[in-house]
């Protein structure tokens, strides 16, 4: 169980809700509620903006495909024993 109360999407200001919509497009998935990580990063929009852009830049296809990068992300998460 999370150690903080995760805010519902409706509790965030309008600009952040637009970012949540962008997340749906990024993941190509219609979330009923934005993922917990998206809502956590939106808690500090300034940090979230930097971090989110860095993540998007890292995950955008380049020399590696998005799928290849997702697998890198998966092994890093596995090695860090992170179930999320």
Query: Which one among 11, 21, 44, 68 touches other proteins, defined by CB under 8 A?
Result: 68
When the beta carbons of 14 and 28 are compared against other proteins, the nearer one is 28
Binding status of residue 51 toward other proteins by CB under 8 A: yes
Residue 74 within binding range of other proteins, rule CB under 8 A: yes
Alpha helices (H) along 1-84: 14-27, 36-41, 45-59, 66-79
Residue 30, helix vs strand vs coil? coil
* Residues whose CB falls within 8 Å of the CB of residue 55, separated by 6 or more in sequence, listed in order: none
By CB under 8 A, the count of residues binding other proteins is: 37
Residue 62 within binding range of other proteins, rule CB under 8 A? yes
């Amino acid at each position: 169980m999370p150690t903080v109360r995760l805010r519902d999407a409706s509790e965030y200001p309008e600009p952040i809700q637009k970012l949540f919509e962008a997340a749906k497009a990024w993941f190509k998935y219609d979330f009923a509620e934005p993922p917990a990580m998206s809502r956590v990063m939106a808690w500090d929009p300034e940090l979230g903006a930097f971090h989110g852009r860095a993540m998007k830049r890292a995950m955008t296809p380049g020399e590696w495909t998005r799928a290849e990068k997702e697998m890198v992300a998966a092994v890093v998460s596995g090695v860090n024993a992170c179930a999320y």
